[in-house]
Chains A and B, each alone.
Chain A
């Protein structure tokens, strides 16, 4: 086991890692920017080193400063948390060169997963389904007609260099294909200077389903079931749960086994998340992999009883997954609500001083937070101030416990997403499990503005 770990992060995840280290008897070193002088991760770590001014680029993202701090504190490993340097292959490489263990996958794996197209090809080659589409650019009408016949309708024509909806056309039937193909090419040419487009199956009413995985340095990989993260806004997850209401035991096993096999082939180790889109028919398609611990990892911890962060540290130290985790059993249902410091209606960030802070408790409630009364939420970093996780023997109990916890959570001085979560939890469609990634764009939520 490591002697001393530097935690290259801040906020609740830094505290989460601290807790795991303390349990393992590992000494901890916090790093912080000038804006975080009074932060709890600084206070609870065995040592703390100020590494730069408030701006992330000059502190938490500054590789020379982080490595230098690791060297003066004489640590043997660095835990990057999520965000910041956690998926920076270059940083992982510098750690290796400096003889520091990077608590995460290998630099090569991080790099592979960072190149989304390449990651998709690798996963497809390893037997994981990806969204059907053209293998590359569709050069002409003839090729377009051929690929459309192959994948069927509805489909989407997308600009290769594009984004933001430009050069993008949804096609529902064959008769519309040629006009749509030509318009998309013209639009792409005008907007991005290149008429290159590709064609992909359109996933209507998609649900975001992801699988938690854990691998060791001895070639063992396991999955810890799925999380449903369809409640999002602007591609930011807001509420996650496990299990998903639409994944049955058979699907879980099938996809789980495919994922494990693929990652063994790639040589994946450490914690990671494999993300899928689920179409209405029930088919799952791989979209990308996050090569790090995730914000919503506690959901899986609650239903499996496995401490993911502790496990991640133990496998990084070379332990065998069989000893670290053992057999996996899923119990009950867990939900996580992300409490962000932001206006629940306009979604604009709400930095400032917290004047009152009271954390809920009770059976099946866990709160991960680094906030406290009188703490100042700086404007420089992300707006997550707390995560409430509820666990119940079934989904209804988890929802009821979460609703109670939200009511008992007092945060004054700044605006938070607590009211929005209350509305989600009492929404009939949410309760019925009838939703997709566009849930929050629906009229009942939009109307509340």
Chain B
């Protein structure tokens, strides 16, 4: 991929839409500049995965997260690269201590050059961020630990 300095490339077939932009992102590399995110919905599979992930048993990484029973772990719904902010240099979507609402964007996971906004499925306080900006993440990898607000 490095060999090809792609600027932009659109590919469409059936319900799959790939948009290759400037080729600058790498799993191993540090966070590098990329164009302002454009949110595409990449076919049915991705849009459904964008829905809030189910809170199943947290993995090891989450186990030491504060040991609070009501810690809600938001996991990555797709494999890709994690970005904390909408564009390089801009403020992260959330930081530890922030209060978030259900449906609020927490981060972006880039998969196949598509920027997928990951939303919180609960309202609460962000108490832990398990990943670092630019890091590759697997499906099901814990991203955030959130203390849900008590229901009134």
Report A's interface with B, CB cutoff 8 A.
34, 49-53, 57-59, 62-65, 67-69, 71-74, 90, 93-94, 97-99
List 26 interface pairs A-B (beta carbons < 8 Å), by A numbering. Answer: A34-B140, A50-B79, A50-B140, A50-B141, A52-B78, A57-B45, A58-B45, A62-B45, A64-B42, A64-B43, A64-B78, A64-B111, A64-B114, A65-B139, A68-B79, A68-B80, A68-B111, A72-B27, A72-B79, A72-B80, A73-B27, A74-B26, A90-B13, A90-B14, A94-B13, A99-B1
B79 touches A52 (CB 8 A): yes
A50 touches B139 (CB 8 A): yes
B13 touches A65 (CB 8 A): no
A98 touches B20 (CB 8 A): yes
List, in ascending order, chain A residues with CB within 8 A of B140's CB.
Answer: 34, 50, 53
State A73–B45 Cα separation when bound (angstroms). Answer: 22
Given A72-B27, A99-B4, A65-B16 contact (CB < 8 Å): no
Which of B3, B111, B136, B141 interacts with A65 by CB under 8 Å?
Answer: B111
Instruction: Give residues 95-152 of B contacting A (CB, 8 Å).
Output: 111-112, 114, 136, 138-141
B139 touches A53 (CB 8 A): yes
**Does B94 make an interface contact (CB < 8 A)?**
no
List, in ascending order, chain A residues with CB within 8 A of B3's CB.
Answer: 99
Judged by DSSP, the binding face of A is helix
How far is the CB of A442 from the nearest CB of chain B, in Å? Answer: 44
List, in ascending order, chain B residues with CB within 8 A of A98's CB.
Answer: 1, 18, 20, 112
Count residues on chain B whose CB falls below 8 Å from chain A CBs: 30
How far is the CB of A354 from the nearest CB of chain B, in Å? Answer: 24
B79 touches A74 (CB 8 A): no
Given A62-B45, A65-B111, A74-B26, A93-B13 contact (CB < 8 Å): yes
Given A64-B111, A68-B111, A74-B27, A52-B46 contact (CB < 8 Å): no
Which of A65, A73, A74, A93 interacts with B78 by CB under 8 Å?
Answer: A65
Report B's interface with A, CB cutoff 8 A.
1, 3-4, 9, 11, 13-14, 16, 18, 20, 26-28, 42-43, 45-46, 49, 78-81, 111-112, 114, 136, 138-141
Given A68-B80, A71-B112, A97-B9, A50-B138 contact (CB < 8 Å): yes
State A72–B13 Cα separation when bound (angstroms). Answer: 23
List, in ascending order, chain B residues with CB within 8 A of A68's CB.
Answer: 78-80, 111-112
List, in ascending order, chain A residues with CB within 8 A of B136's CB.
Answer: 49, 72-73
B14 touches A51 (CB 8 A): no
Other A-B contacts than A49-B138, A58-B49, A90-B16, 16 sampled, CB-CB below 8 A, are: A50-B140, A51-B138, A52-B79, A62-B45, A64-B16, A64-B45, A64-B114, A71-B1, A72-B27, A72-B79, A72-B81, A74-B1, A90-B13, A97-B9, A98-B18, A98-B112
Which of A49, A93, A94 interacts with B79 by CB under 8 Å?
Answer: A49
How far is the CB of A6 from the nearest CB of chain B, in Å? Answer: 12
State A286–B138 Cα separation when bound (angstroms). Answer: 44
A67 touches B112 (CB 8 A): yes
State A52–B112 Cα separation when bound (angstroms). Answer: 15
State A34–B28 Cα separation when bound (angstroms). Answer: 24
Residue of A nearest to B29 (CB): A74
Residue of B nearest to A68 (CB): B111
How far is the CB of B56 from the nearest CB of chain A, in Å? Answer: 9
How far is the CB of B137 from the nearest CB of chain A, in Å? Answer: 8
How far is the CB of B31 from the nearest CB of chain A, in Å? Answer: 14
A94 touches B111 (CB 8 A): no
List, in ascending order, chain A residues with CB within 8 A of B79's CB.
Answer: 49-52, 65, 68-69, 72
List, in ascending order, chain B residues with CB within 8 A of A49's CB.
Answer: 79, 136, 138
State A53–B3 Cα separation when bound (angstroms). Answer: 33
List, in ascending order, chain B residues with CB within 8 A of A57's CB.
Answer: 45
